[in-house]
Chains A and B, each alone.
Chain A
C-alpha cells in the first residue's frame, strides 16, 4: 500500500525544535493541502520527509510502502516513490536537464537490476519530449544546465517535469506557487492535475489559497507552531482566504488554555 503515514513527527534544526508532533496520513488518490503562516515549519516538514541532512528527526515515524523511511537515505526514499518539488530548486551548473533526468532514471533501473545498461537514448528522448510537450516546455530546455539561470517559473516547471518523468506515488509540492505569475501557475497546476491519478497521493504545501483554485485538495490542514491545528475539506481553504489565520490562532490558544 503506498500511503504515507506520518506519526508524531518531531524535527529540529541546530537543536531547535520546529515540527512538534505532526501526524498525517495521505492515501493514494488523495490531495492534501497544508496551509499556514510563514515560519510554522511547513518547509521543515517537507525537507525532513525527503531526508535533508540538516534536519534532525528527534521523534516519530514516517511509514511508506512498509518501511519507516526515516531510516533511508534521500535517494532511497526517492526510488521508493517519494518526490519533493522544491521551493528553491538548486542549480547544478554543467549538468543538463536531459543528462540529469537520464541519470535519475538510470539510478532507478540500476537499483532494480545492477546489470542494467540504462535507458536506451531514443526511448529516453521520446519520453522526455512527450512530458515536455505536456508541460508546454520548449525542447531546448532539455539542453540547458539544470536550474542554472532559470527564471522562477522555469524552475517550478522543471520541478514538475521531474515529477512527470519520475512518476512518484507520493508528491510533496513545497510552495510550488511562489514566484509564479498566473499563466505559469496555471501551466504548473495543469501539469500536476494531468499527472494525478488514483495511485498517487499529493501533499501541497502553500501559504496562499491561490494555488488551491487550480489544484483542488480533498483535505486541507492548517499548520501552526509545528503542528496541525485544524483539518477540514476544501472549504477550510476558502475560509482562511477570507478570514486569515487569526481565528485559528485564537481557537488554539483557547483550547490549550
Chain B
C-alpha cells in the first residue's frame, strides 16, 4: 500500500506527455449515397473540422478523453458479426411487459428485424437504418438531422457521418401500439460501432420503445460507440422510451440524444447505465409545444474505474410545459460519475413547471460523484426546483438491519435497493425494474 502513491505520480507524469490522437477514418468510409448524401457529407465536413473535445470545454471539464485511442478504431465490414460472439440470449427477452410487437438486433455489419404483421399493416415502420434508407428514403430524409445537428460536437458529427447501424421507428397518426418494440445494439469486437436512432411518433399515436446497447467485456480491446438519437413526439402523441446501456468495461461510449415533444404530447424517458469504460452522454428534452410534458428517470451504477458522465438538458420552449427529471446513481471502487443538468426556460414559456434532482450514493471512499444542477430562466411566471445530493452508506442503517439477522452484504444491498426505489417507482415496467435489480445484485457482488 505504501508504494501506491509513487505509482500514481509516475503514471500521471507520463500521461501529461500523451496528447489525444485523431481518428483515422477516411471519406471513403462515409456512405454518401442516395437521399442522405448531403447530410452525411455535411457531418463529415464537421467531423474533420472539429477537434476532439478536451477539458477546456465546460461540457467536458470533468470528462477527460485524451487517452482515447482514436486512431485505432475501424468500422466493421458487412457480415463482421459472423466471426464475433453472438448476442447474449438474456438481452432478447422482453423488458417492457408483454410480448414484443417487434425486435431488431443490430450487429457489427448486419441486423435482424422482426415486426408483427398487424403492426406493419397498420403502417408502423420499425426497421434497421440500412433497410429504411432503401425502402423508406423520404421518411429517413424527413427525420435525419432534424432534432440533433451533426455540428453539435465531434461525436455527433462522427455518428452522423458514419452511422451504419440504426433504427427507424415510425408510428402513424392516432395509432396506439400496445405491444412494446425492442431493439438491441450488440457491439462485440474492437470496432467503432456507430448508431443512429430515428423515432417519429405521429399525432395522437402512442408506443413503448426499449433500446439496449450492450457488449461482452473484452479487456484490452479498443471499442468505441458513438450514437445519435433523434426523437419527435408530435401533437398529442405519447412515447415511453427506455434506453439501457450495459457496454463492456472496455468501451468508450459517446452519444448525443434529443427528443422534441410537441403540443400536448408526452415523453416518459428512462435511462439505465451500468457499462462502458467511459461514457459522455448528452440527453436533451425539448418541450416545443404548449402543454408538452417530459419525464426523465435515470439509473446508473458504476464500479472499478468506470467513468459515466450524463449531461441533461430540459428545455422549456413553450408555455405550460412540464418536465420532471430524477437521476440516481451508486458508485463503487474508484469509479466516477458526473451529472450536469440544466433547466432552460425560454422567453415567453410561462407557467413552466420544471424539476430536476440528482442523488448519488457513494459506496467506496475512492469513488466520486459530481452533481451539478443548473437553471437558466428567461420567463417570469414559472416554477423550477432542483436538488443534488451525494451521500455515503451510513453505518446506523446497516447495524439496524444486521441486528435483525440480515448479513452485512445483504444489508448493504437492501439499503442500495431502497436508495433506488424512487426510480423503480417511476418505471412502469416490471421487466425493466427486474433488470435494474439484477444490475444492483451484480454490481454489489463484484
Task: Determine whether the beta carbon of B418 is less than 8 Å from that of A84.
Answer: no
- Asked if A90 contacts B408 (CB within 8 A), the reply is no
Report if A131 contacts B (CB, 8 A).
no
Q: Does B92 contact A (CB under 8 A)?
A: no
Is the beta-carbon distance between B397 and A92 smaller than 8 angstroms? yes
Which residue in A73, A89, A99, A108 is a CB contact (below 8 Å) of B402? A73
A58 within 8 A of B: no
Evaluate contact between A78 and B405: CB separation under 8 angstroms.
yes
Report Cα–Cα, A2/B156, bound state, in Å: 69
Contact between B400 and A79 (Cβ–Cβ < 8 Å)?
no
- Give Cα distance in the complex from A103 to B410, angstroms: 9
A93 within 8 A of B: yes
Cα–Cα, bound, A78→B414 (Å):
17
Structural contact, B404 and A95, CB atoms closer than 8 A: no
B405 touches A53 (CB 8 A): no
Bound: A78/B411 CA distance, A = 14
Q: Which of A54, A95, A107 is close to B405, meaning CB atoms less than 8 Å apart?
A: A107
From B399, which residue of chain A is reached at the shortest CB distance?
A52
When chains A and B are docked, how far (Å) is the Cα of A53 from the Cα of B398? Answer: 11
B306-319 interface code vs A (CB 8 A; 1 in, 0 out): 00000000000000
Cβ contact within 8 Å between B399 and A103: no
Is B439 part of the contact surface with A, judged by Cβ < 8 Å? no
| Assembly CA distance A74 to B397 (angstroms) | 13
Interface flags for A43-65 (1: CB within 8 Å of B; 0: not) read: 00000001111100000000000
Question: Would you call A166 an interface residue if the criterion is a C-beta within 8 Å of the partner chain's C-beta atoms?
Answer: yes
The one of B405, B407, B408, B422 in contact with A94, judged by C-beta atoms closer than 8 angstroms, is: B422
Contact A92 B408 (CB under 8 A): no
Any chain A CB within 8 A of the CB of B421? yes
Q: Could you tell me the distance between the alpha carbons of A54 and B395 in the complex, rounded to whole angstroms? A: 10
- The contact of A95 among B395, B417, B422, by CB within 8 Å, is B417
A223 to chain B, nearest CB (A): 22
Instruction: Determine the chain B residues whose CB is within 8 A of the CB of A107 once the complex forms.
Output: 404-407, 410
A90 and B400 form a contact (CB under 8 A): yes
By CB atoms of chain B within 10 A, which of A75, A90, A99 has the most? A75
By a CB distance below 8 angstroms, the chain A residues around B411 are: 75
Who on chain B is nearest to A145 by CB? B418
Bound form: Cα–Cα A100–B406 in Å = 9
Q: Smallest Cβ distance from B270 to chain A, in angstroms?
A: 18
Q: Tell me the bound Cα distance from A86 to B404 in angstroms.
A: 11
Q: How many residues of chain B get a CB closer than 8 Å to chain A's CBs?
A: 23
B404 and A166 form a contact (CB under 8 A): yes
B419 is an interface residue with CB less than 8 A from chain A: yes
- Residues of chain A within 8 A (CB-CB) of B397 are 90-92
Does B13 have its Cβ within 8 Å of any Cβ on chain A? no
B361 to A: closest C-beta gap in Å: 11
Residue of A nearest to B406 (CB): A107
Q: Is B415 an interface residue (CB 8 A)?
A: yes
Q: Which of B404, B415, B420 is within 8 Å of A162, CB to CB?
A: B404
B11 interfacial by beta-carbon distance below 8 Å: no
A104 within 8 A of B: yes
Are A75 and B407 in contact (CB-based, < 8 A)? yes
Tell whether, in the assembled complex, residue B408 and residue A73 are in contact, meaning their CB atoms are under 8 Å apart.
yes
Q: Interface code A92-115, partner B: CB below 8 Å = 1, 0 otherwise?
A: 111100011001100110010000
Q: Knowing A78-B402, A166-B405 touch, does A94 contact B421 (C-beta < 8 A)?
A: yes
- Given contacts A103-B410, A107-B407, A107-B410, A93 and B402 within 8 Å (CB-CB): no
Q: Does B403 contact A (CB under 8 A)?
A: yes
Question: Contacts A52-B399, A53-B395, A107-B410 hold; do A94 and B404 have CB atoms under 8 A apart?
Answer: no
Which chain B residues lie closer than 8 Å to A77 at the CB level? 403
Interface centre among A50, A51, A53, A92 (most CB of B within 10 A): A92
Q: Is the CB of A89 within 8 A of B407?
A: no
Known: A86-B400, A92-B401, A95-B414. A103 touches B406 (CB 8 A): yes
Which residues of chain B come closer than 8 Å to A103, judged between CB atoms?
401, 406, 410, 414
Contacting residues, chain B, for A162 (C-beta < 8 A)? 404
Q: Does B3 contact A (CB under 8 A)?
A: no
CB of B308 to closest CB in A, whole Å: 22
A95 touching B407, Cβ below 8 Å: no
| B396 contacts partner chain A, Cβ-Cβ < 8 Å | yes
Nearest chain A CB to B416 CB, angstrom units = 9
- Asked if A94 and B420 sit within 8 Å, CB to CB, the answer is yes
Smallest distance from the beta carbon of A65 to chain B beta carbons, Å? 14
> Given A95-B415, A100-B414, is A90 in contact with B405 using a C-beta cutoff of 8 Å?
no
Q: Looking across the interface, which residue of chain B has its beta carbon closest to that of A54? A: B395
- Docked CA distance A90–B403 (Å): 11
- Chain A residues whose CB sits within 8 angstroms of the CB of B407 once the complex forms: 73, 75, 107
For A75, the closest partner residue in chain B by CB is B402
Judging by beta carbons under 8 Å apart, are A93 and B418 in contact? yes
The complex places the Cα of A75 from the Cα of B404 at a distance, in Å, of 6
Pairwise interchain contact B419-A75, C-beta atoms closer than 8 A: no
Instruction: Return chain A residues, CB-CB under 8 Å to B396.
Output: 90
The smallest C-beta distance from B193 to any residue of chain A, in angstroms, reads 35
Closest to B420 in A: A94
* Distance in angstroms between the alpha carbons of A123 and B331 in the assembled complex: 36
Chain A residues, CB < 8 A from B417: 94-95
A74 and B399 in contact (CB under 8 A), knowing A104-B404, A108-B405? yes
Q: Mark B95-124, 1 if CB is under 8 A from A, else 0.
A: 000000000000000000000000000000
User: Whole-angstrom distance between the alpha carbons of A90 and B396 in the complex?
Assistant: 7
Rounded to whole angstroms, the CA-CA distance of A92 and B395 in the bound complex is 12
**Which A residues from 31 to 52 make CB contacts under 8 A with B?**
50-52
Closest chain B CB from A144 CB (angstroms): 12
- A114 and B171 CA atoms in complex are apart in Å by 50
- Residues of B with C-beta under 8 A to A94: 417-422
18 further contact pairs, Cβ within 8 A, besides A86-B400, A90-B396, A166-B404: A51-B403, A73-B402, A75-B404, A75-B408, A86-B403, A92-B418, A93-B418, A93-B419, A94-B417, A94-B419, A95-B414, A95-B418, A95-B421, A107-B406, A107-B407, A107-B410, A111-B405, A145-B421
Contact sample, A vs B, 19 pairs, CB 8 Å cutoff: A74-B403, A75-B402, A75-B407, A75-B411, A84-B403, A86-B403, A90-B396, A90-B397, A90-B399, A90-B400, A91-B397, A92-B400, A92-B414, A92-B415, A93-B421, A94-B417, A95-B421, A104-B405, A111-B405
Q: Which B residues are within 8 Å of any A CB, using their own CB?
A: 395-397, 399-408, 410-411, 414-415, 417-422
Hey, which bits of chain A sit against chain B, CB under 8 A? 50-54, 73-75, 77-79, 84, 86, 89-95, 99-100, 103-104, 107-108, 111, 145, 162, 166
